[in-house]
Amino acid sequence: MQKHLFITLGFLLFISLNSSTLQAQRSIYGEAKLKFDDVLEMIDRSYVDTVNQDKLIQEAVIGMTKDLDPHSEYMTAKEFKEMNEPLKGNFDGIGVQFNILKDTIVVISAISGGPSEKLGILAGDKIVKIEDTVVAGKGITNNDVIKKLRGVKGTKVRVGIKRRGKPELIDYTIVRDKIPIYSVDASYMLTPDIGYIKINRFAQATMQEFHEGLEKLQKKGMKHFVLDLRQNSGGYLNTANDLSNEFLKAGDTIVYTQGINSPKKGFKADGKGKLKSGKLVVLIDEGSASASEIVSGAIQDWDRGLIIGRRSFGKGLVQNPFNLRDGSVLKLTTARYYTPSGRCIQRSYQEGKEDYYQERSRRSKSGEFFNKDSIHPNDTVKYFTARKRVVYGGGGITPDIFVPVDTSQNSAYLTNLFSNGVFNQFALDYIEKDRAGFAAKYPDLETYIATFDADMVMVEFLAFAEKEGVKKGGGGDAKADSAWAKKVKITFPGMDVKSQQYKDFQEYAKKEVIKEYAKGFEKSKETIKEQIKARIANNQWSSEGFYRVINSGSDEVKEAIKAIHGRTFKEMKIQE
What residues are annotated to the active site?
A: 290, 301, 315
Report the SS3 class of residue 355: helix
Residue 159: in which H helix or E strand, if any?
Answer: strand 156-162
- The answer to whether 60 and 36 are in contact (CB under 8 A) is yes
- The answer to whether 524 and 409 are in contact (CB under 8 A) is yes
String of DSSP letters for 419-460: HTTHHHHHHHHHHHHTHHHHHHH--SHHHHHHH--GGGGHHH
Contacts of 147 (CB under 8 A, 6+ apart): none
| 212-221 CB contacts, 8 Å cutoff, 24+ apart | 212/184, 212/187, 213/184, 213/187, 214/187, 214/274, 214/275, 216/187, 217/187, 217/188, 217/189, 218/274, 220/189, 220/195, 221/192, 221/193
Strands 383-384 and 262-268: unpaired
Report the SS3 class of residue 198: strand
For residue 235, the 8-state DSSP code is B
- The answer to whether 246 and 199 are in contact (CB under 8 A) is no
For 573, phi then psi, to 5°, come to 60, 45
Query: Considering only CA atoms, which of 548, 542, 539, 528 is closest in space to residue 435?
Result: 539
CB atoms within 10 A of CB 121: 24
Beta partners for residue 110, in sequence order: 96
Q: Whole-angstrom Cα distance, residue 281 to residue 557?
A: 9
